[in-house]
Chains A and B, each alone.
Chain A
Amino acid sequence: ETGVTQSPTHLIKTRGQQVTLRCSSQSGHNTVSWYQQALGQGPQFIFQYYREEENGRGNFPPRFSGLQFPNYSSELNVNALELDDSALYLCASGTTSGAYNEQFFGPGTRLTVL
């Protein structure tokens, strides 16, 4: 167990809808990163938050957005859902005091878009 929690576990939405996924970081960690993992692929970096601001972004459109709160919990919001957004969404927490960027994943949210 990493101490990183995510909710919900599973979610089913229809195309065009909006979704919010939540993550609570491991105690003592101050960064949170979100990844999308499609079936049979490695996780793909969406963005990272540090000090409540976006601190780097992967190749994802603006309809993917996020927030980090003062208690280091985080949200991932996806607007105008598309069928290709169906994936496992992973939250990973880390710390800027670490030397090697170790990141620890939560259990993930499985999103299905119909």
Chain B
Amino acid sequence: QKEVEQNSGPLSVPEGAIASLNCTYSDRGSQSFFWYRQYSGKSPELIMFIYSNGDKEDGRFTAQLNKASQYVSLLIRDSQPSDSATYLCADSNYGGSQGNLIFGKGTKLSVKP
């Protein structure tokens, strides 16, 4: 049974700082990972995915994957109050007949003005 672990937070950072969100996964064979942002009362919104070891950058967001350590992270540079949300890490159970995502419980981020 695949599992994804996240610190539930809340993680509080000042405006303009770097927010670092972390996630570990149980299945060494997992290939691709997703970060979703979920505002309170809304549905998850895909912000990044990563499948290769190393860093992937998209604007203020950088996803990092370390398959040896089974560790995924999301860095948000120049954090803004509008980044305040819950961030969900997901492992893709892709292959064979399955195509579902396995989510962590999410980390709540609060960016203080």
Contacts and interface: CB of A to CB of B under 8 A. Distances in A.
Interface residues of B, number: 28
Interface of B: 4, 8, 31-32, 34, 36, 42-46, 49, 51, 88, 90, 92-94, 97-106
Contacts of B102: 45
B98 to A, nearest CB: 4
B49 A102 contact: yes
B30 to A, nearest CB: 11
The B interface, classified by DSSP as helix, strand, loop or mixed, is strand
B100 A106 contact: no
A94 B43 contact: no
A39 to B, nearest CB: 11
Contacts of B46: 102-105
Interface in A64-114: 88, 90, 92, 94, 96, 100-108
Contacts, number: 72
A29 to B, nearest CB: 12
Given A90-B43, A108-B43, A42 B88 contact: yes
A100 B103 contact: no
A89 to B, nearest CB: 10
Contact of B100 (A2, A42, A45, A100): A45
B105 A55 contact: no
Given A40-B105, A108-B43, A101 B32 contact: yes
Nearest to B6: A42
A58 interface: yes
